Amino acid sequence: MKHKLKRNSKWILCVLSVGVILLLLVVSNHNTLPVQAKNHQQIISTLGSVGKAQQNNSIINSMEIEQAVASSTRENLVTEQKQSDSAKDNVGMEQQDTIPELTHQNIVELTDRFMNTLVQPIDDNYRVLNYATIDELMDVFSVFIDREVVAEYVNFYFHEEADGIYILPTETPPWFEENNDYKVQQVSENKAMVNQYNESELHGNYTVSIEFTYDGSAWRITGIAHQY
């Protein structure tokens, strides 16, 4: 009887040992799975970080390329603008260097303009209708003739009062006649002298000399002289 109990006890201990071992294995497997899952998540996270870093680097590189292209485009535009401005300057200089010839039309237009401005519309008292002061009249003349040249004529033919300017009722000065012959003397590159001899019942025989100067944009009268 004692022998059977002893053998049964060994059997029970053996079964318990096996059970304990199995329990330990189950617990061990249960703890290992989360660790593996955690490691897997860490790996995925690391790969994701690497991917994001590569993506960010790609975006940065793309932005740098775009900035470089934009900078190059701006530089090209600036260069083209400078070349265009330089070409315009060259054309402008060429135009300034090329002085047009003083033509018959230029002479007639300027001499007619002088006389038409000198002979102003007036009322019955010889008061000028279109201008109130001498300065206003001088400003009109100065567009096409030097002020110091025309001042002699304005001071002789006009006087200013409180209610306006008045013209002296007298004859116009001896002047250029469009249909008569004249000579053009080239004084300098941008200056020419027109000399014309005329015979007039009113003024007698006289020579009028008119100096024309090209000021860079147009011809203008810069001198007037008479010889009787």
Kindly report the pTM of this predicted structure. Answer: 0.59
Annotate 1-23 with DSSP letters as a single string: -HHHHHHHHHHHHHHHHHHHHHH
User: Residue 88's domain spans which residues?
Assistant: 1-98
User: What is the CA angle 69-73-74, rounded to 5?
Assistant: 120
- The reply to whether 113 and 219 lie within a common domain is yes
Q: In what order do the strands lie in the sheet with 204-214?
A: 183-188, 191-200, 204-214, 219-227
DSSP H helices, the chain, are: 2-97, 104-118, 134-141, 147-157
- The reply to whether 40 and 124 lie within a common domain is no
pLDDT category, 43, cuts 50, 70, 90? very low
7-43 CB burial, b ≥16 within 10 A, e <16: eeeeeeeeeeeeeeeeeeeeeeeeeeeeeeeeeeeee
Looking at per-residue pLDDT, the higher value among 220 and 31 belongs to 220
- The reply to whether 37 and 121 lie within a common domain is no
Domains contained in the chain, number: 2
- The reply to whether 87 and 110 lie within a common domain is no
- The reply to whether 123 and 50 lie within a common domain is no
Q: Of 80, 98, 116, which marks where a domain is finished?
A: 98
Q: Of 38, 72, 98, which marks where a domain is finished?
A: 98
Spatial separation of the C-alpha atoms in residues 139 and 130, rounded to whole Å: 13
pLDDT of amino acid 20: 60
Q: Of 51, 80, 98, which marks where a domain is finished?
A: 98
CATH code for the domain in which residue 128 is found: 3.10.450.420
- The reply to whether 26 and 53 lie within a common domain is yes
Percent of the chain with pLDDT over 70: 57
The pLDDT tens digits for 120-164 are: 999 999 999 999 999 999 999 999 999 999 999 999 999 999 999
